A and B are shown apart, each in its own frame.
Chain A
Amino acid sequence: EIVLTQSPGTLSLSPGERATLSCRASQSVSSSYLAWYQQKPGQAPRLLIYGASNRATGISDRFSGSGSGTDFTLTISRLEPEDFAVYYCQEYGSFFGGGTKVEIK
């Protein structure tokens, strides 16, 4: 079982700032298997990125993913008010990381 560790647990930033979220796997993961989701309070998660770097349909180009092996990154280039949420990484459409909360500073 691959364990995904996300950091930081909470990121306090202001609108317009850049957010960098990390997802580290306990062993090497195929980039094809790595996805990122956004979840807002009271809502189901929404797919943002699949295959480590491919934006899902309708996702803003403010969101980008990168990485390989055991280290993956989700970057939000300029935070908009609607981007403050919790973000999760997932491997192989199964196990999730613990999440990173992006909150307004």
Chain B
Amino acid sequence: QVQLQESGPGLVKPSETLSLTCAVSGYSISSGYYWGWIRQPPGKGLEWIGSINHRGSTFYNPSLKSRVTISVDTAKNHFSLKLSSVTAADTAVYYCARRKEDYYYYYMDVWGKGTTVTVSS
């Protein structure tokens, strides 16, 4: 079945760039759909960060757009997140998910387990 796994440093210093990768197994990213990043600060709700498709087309949350870059590597079957100039407010659990488009329905049907990123010096 389709599985997603986030990886990356658990600790990032303020003002630096957070970098995470989501490895996809059981499905080829080249086959379609968008692939997204979502985060959840401690004790708070879900925040969509942005999404990318296999061609590299992206759309981002406007509130984060100036600091976010999402890229895809179809050869490695993974996609990545970079968030620049981080502050303590970027401390969160970061999830990756598949954004499925199915007969005009749009939803995130497969999620990674999440990875905790702490911003601290």
Contact = CB atoms under 8 A, between A and B. Distances in A.
A45 B46 contact: yes
Determine the main DSSP class of B at the interface with A: strand
B31 to A, nearest CB: 17
Interface residues of A, number: 26
A96 B105 contact: no
A47 B111 CA distance: 9
Contacts of B36: 93-94
Contact of B95 (A44, A88, A92): A44
Interface residues of B, number: 27
A74 interface: no
B106 A32 contact: yes
Interface of B: 34, 36, 38, 45-48, 51, 59, 61-62, 95, 99-109, 111-114
A24 to B, nearest CB: 15
A93 B46 contact: no
Contacts of B113: 44
A33 B109 CA distance: 13
Given A35-B107, A44-B112, A93-B99, 20 more contacts: A32-B106, A37-B46, A37-B108, A44-B114, A45-B108, A45-B111, A47-B107, A50-B106, A50-B107, A50-B109, A54-B105, A88-B45, A90-B48, A90-B107, A93-B36, A93-B107, A95-B61, A96-B45, A96-B48, A99-B45
Contacts of B99: 93-94
Given A45-B111, A93-B34, A93-B99, A32 B48 contact: no
Contact of A94 (B51, B100, B102): B51
